[in-house]
Amino acid sequence: MAVTRHSDAVAPVRSSGPLSTWLTRHFSTSIGALGRLFRQPFASLMIVLVIAVTLAIPAALSLVVKNAQAVSAGWDNALDFSIYLRRDISEIEADGLARLIRQRADVEDVRLITASAALGEFKQESGFGQALDHLSENPLPHTLVVRPSPANTSQSMILLQEELGNLPEAELVQVDTEWVQRFHAILDIVKRAIVIGASLLGVAIVVIIGNTIRLDIQNRREEIEVTKLIGASNAFVRRPFLWSGFWYGLFGGLLALGLVQYGLFLLEQPAARLAGLYQSRVSVLSLTPAESFSILGVGVALGLVGSWFAAARHMRRIEPR
């Protein structure tokens, strides 16, 4: 009976299993590390704030590039050729020329803007409608807006421009692609600079968290010596410091998201006012859920890396005497 009662008593412990024990220990250690952070609110807040600002800077710059790319996505018309025809070309001749150019393999589409339509649009958008009504004749020519095929290369675009300029009906061929290409080149440079800057800031976060964990280890040196004296391994002693780095990174990532979202909130009204001046609608793009989780993941990862390096380096130097 005694043996039976003993086996019944230990059965619940065996049924818990090593995984449950491991999870319970980590849970209690994480709560203890979180409690130590809250017992030092000012110091913990300063570290979290530094991490948050360090994460928020590259995230905000990435959003700027993202919104700039979204705005430039509507600039495809800037790659068009505008053919201004001679004043003596009639609308019928201009339409026939548009159909002829549309048959080219290197042209995707051709749109005819008549002189009367161009003058009417100019009256509506310029605000000089009453003054333009006194003109004896329409000073604007017929215009062909040529959309090149996406298969064109830079050399074929130059050749197309020369051939369109040599048409006898053409007075002037205008194309303005260089500023668009320069703008996208600038965005590529900015994106690479953001990656480099984010990498350097990530190293800074690792150093900051590592130095914080190092100070925490030195303050708890006697406790660590006693723990090792009763047989605790380095991995066991290192565990609470890893959880401290985890909480620093997590709270820093959450605060970084809050800073970025607050910045977007402040920019919404100025962006809407600017769009209204140009009679357009511009919406400020925010972080996607995947990007938000990425910021949190990077913060947690940097916190764990910084705390692990500091704990692994200094833990071996502390041995019971």
Return the pLDDT at 301: 93
Q: Among 21-30, 127-136, 235-244, which is the least confidently predicted range? A: 127-136
Summarize pLDDT for 168-181 with one digit per residue, the tens. Answer: 888 888 776 666 66
- C-alpha 117: how far from chain center: 42
Position 156 pLDDT exceeds 90: no
Please indicate whether residue 132 or residue 302 has the higher confidence score (pLDDT). 302
Cβ partners under 8 Å of residue 316, min gap 6: 234
Return the pLDDT at 13: 42
Please indicate whether residue 272 or residue 66 has the higher confidence score (pLDDT). 66
Summarize pLDDT for 255-271 with one digit per residue, the tens. Answer: 999 999 998 888 888 87
Return the pLDDT at 130: 59
Cβ partners under 8 Å of residue 198, min gap 6: 58
Position 141 pLDDT exceeds 70: yes
Return the pLDDT at 200: 92
**Tokens coding 164:** 């369109």
Strands 170-174 and 143-148: unpaired
Return the pLDDT at 260: 92
Return the pLDDT at 7: 39
For the chain, list the domains and their CATH numbers: 25-73+181-315 (no CATH), 81-174 (3.30.70.3040)
Position 213 pLDDT exceeds 50: yes
Please indicate whether residue 182 or residue 204 has the higher confidence score (pLDDT). 204
Q: Among 72-76, 122-126, 239-243, 270-274, which is the least confidently predicted range? A: 72-76
Strand runs (DSSP E) across the chain, as ranges? 81-85, 107-113, 143-148, 170-174
Summarize pLDDT for 24-56 with one digit per residue, the tens. Answer: 887 888 888 888 888 888 888 999 999 999 999
CB 252 within 8 A of CB 52: yes
Looking at every residue in the chain, the average pLDDT score rounds to 80
**Rounded Cα distance, 246 and 34, in Å:** 10
Summarize pLDDT for 180-194 with one digit per residue, the tens. Answer: 667 778 888 988 999
Position 280 pLDDT exceeds 70: no
CB 238 within 8 A of CB 311: yes
pLDDT band at 217 (very low <50, low <70, confident <90, very high): confident
Position 77 pLDDT exceeds 80: no
